[in-house]
Structure 1
Amino acid sequence: MAPAAASRARRAARSVVRPGRRARVLDLRGAGRAGDAAELRFPAGDLVVVSGLPGSGKSTLMHRVVPALDGRGAAVHRIDSQDVRERWERGRLRRLPYALYRPLVRAAHYLALHRALRSGGSVVVHDCGTLAWVRRWIARSARRGDRELHLVLLDVPPEVARSGQESRGRGVSGYAFARHRRAVRRLVGAAESAGPPKGFRSAVLLDRRAASALETVGFH
Structure 2
Amino acid sequence: MTVNRTTVHLTTAGVAVPGQPSAPALEHRAGRPVAAVRDLRERAGHGPRALLFGPRDVVVVTGLPGSGKSTLMRRAVPGPRVDSQDTRDRWDARMPRALPYALYRPLVRLAHYAGLRRALRSGGGLVVHDCGTQSWVRAWLAREARRRGGTLHLVLLDVPAGTAEEGQRERGRAVSRYAFRRHRRTTSRLLRAVERGEPPAGCGSAVLLDRAAVDVLRRIDFTG
TM over 0.5: yes
Q: Distance in 2 between matches of 1:207 and 1:15?
A: 18
> Partner of 2:166 in structure 1?
163
Q: Distance in 1 between matches of 2:175 and 2:91?
A: 19
Query: Is the partner of 2:186 in helix, strand or coil?
Result: helix
Query: Is the partner of 1:90 in helix, strand or coil?
Result: helix
Q: Is the 8 A contact 1:15 1:36 kept in 2?
A: no
**Unaligned 5+ runs, structure 2:** 1-10, 27-35
User: Which of residues 29, 54, 61 is equivalent to 2:72?
Assistant: 61
Q: Is the 8 A contact 1:31 1:209 kept in 2?
A: yes
Displacement of 1:65 = 0.1
Q: Is the 8 A contact 2:56 2:145 kept in 1?
A: no
Kindly indicate whether residue 132 of structure 2 is the aligned counterpart of residue 120 of structure 1: no
> Partner of 1:10 in structure 2?
none
User: Which of residues 37, 43, 48 is equivalent to 1:25?
Assistant: 37
Displacement of 1:96 = 1.1
Q: Is the 8 A contact 1:19 1:203 kept in 2?
A: no
Q: Is the 8 A contact 1:19 1:25 kept in 2?
A: no
Superposed CA offset, 1:77-98 (max 9, x none): 2100100111111114444111
Runs of 4 or more, structure 1, over 4 Å off, are none
Q: Distance in 1 between matches of 2:65 and 2:192?
A: 18
Displacement of 1:146 = 1.6
Q: Distance in 2 between matches of 1:135 and 1:118?
A: 16
Q: Distance in 2 between matches of 1:93 and 1:114?
A: 28
**Unaligned 5+ runs, structure 1:** 1-12, 69-76
> Partner of 2:3 in structure 1?
none
Q: Is the 8 A contact 2:56 2:148 kept in 1?
A: no
> Partner of 1:183 in structure 2?
186
Kindly indicate whether residue 38 of structure 2 is the aligned counterpart of residue 40 of structure 1: no
User: Which of residues 102, 107, 111 is equivalent to 1:108?
Assistant: 111
Q: Which amino acid aligns with 2:189?
A: R
> Partner of 2:143 in structure 1?
140
The farther-off stretch of 23-32 and 174-183 is 23-32
Aligned length: 199
Q: Distance in 2 between matches of 1:92 and 1:29?
A: 40
More helix by share: 1
Question: RMSD of the alignment, in Å?
Answer: 1.4
Query: Is the partner of 2:221 in helix, strand or coil?
Result: strand
Q: Is the 8 A contact 2:199 2:205 kept in 1?
A: yes
Q: Is the 8 A contact 1:14 1:36 kept in 2?
A: no
> Partner of 2:202 in structure 1?
199
TM-score of the pair, normalised by structure 2: 0.85
Query: Is the partner of 1:162 in helix, strand or coil?
Result: helix
Q: Distance in 2 between matches of 1:134 and 1:36?
A: 29
Q: Distance in 2 between matches of 1:185 and 1:94?
A: 35
Q: Distance in 1 between matches of 2:138 and 2:187?
A: 13
> Partner of 1:7 in structure 2?
none
Q: Is the 8 A contact 1:49 1:151 kept in 2?
A: yes
TM-score of the pair, normalised by structure 1: 0.87
Query: Is the partner of 1:31 in helix, strand or coil?
Result: coil
Q: Is the 8 A contact 2:37 2:197 kept in 1?
A: no
Q: Is the 8 A contact 2:56 2:149 kept in 1?
A: no
Aligned residues with identical type, % of pairs: 57
